[in-house]
Amino acid sequence: MIITITENGQLNLPPEIQSQIQEGDKYEISVIENSIVLKKVQKPLTWSELSRRIEQLGEDPEQPTLSEISDIVKEVKREMRAKNE
């Protein structure tokens, strides 16, 4: 596809591209050698959306219990004490 820059410095995007973007979308623009690159900026997730996604993942079967974490911390402390003696 070839486009032309207008006298006002604007780009007239072809319909095939316009159909893939929405008004209000934000893009990061950069110039790399002889190319102009547009990269869509993703909207940050809301807390409720983030929480919903985490809940969908479910429990991690490999997540250690609090007791296991406590045992690991105690072991590391013992090793650090022994190393410093």
Q: Which two tokens stand for residue 67?
A: 């007791």
pLDDT tens digits along 12-44: 999 999 999 999 999 999 999 999 999 999 888
Give the containing element (helix H, strand E) for 18. Answer: helix 15-18
In DSSP notation, 45-65 reads PPHHHHHHHHHHH---TTPPP
d(CA 56, CA 50): 10
pLDDT confidence of residue 31: 95
Ordered domains of the chain (ranges, CATH): 1-42 (2.10.260.10)
pLDDT confidence of residue 61: 86
- Name the maximum alpha-carbon separation found in the chain: 76
pLDDT tens digits along 37-81: 999 998 888 999 999 999 999 888 889 999 999 999 999 999 999
pLDDT confidence of residue 43: 86
Assess contact for 36 and 50: CB atoms under 8 A.
no
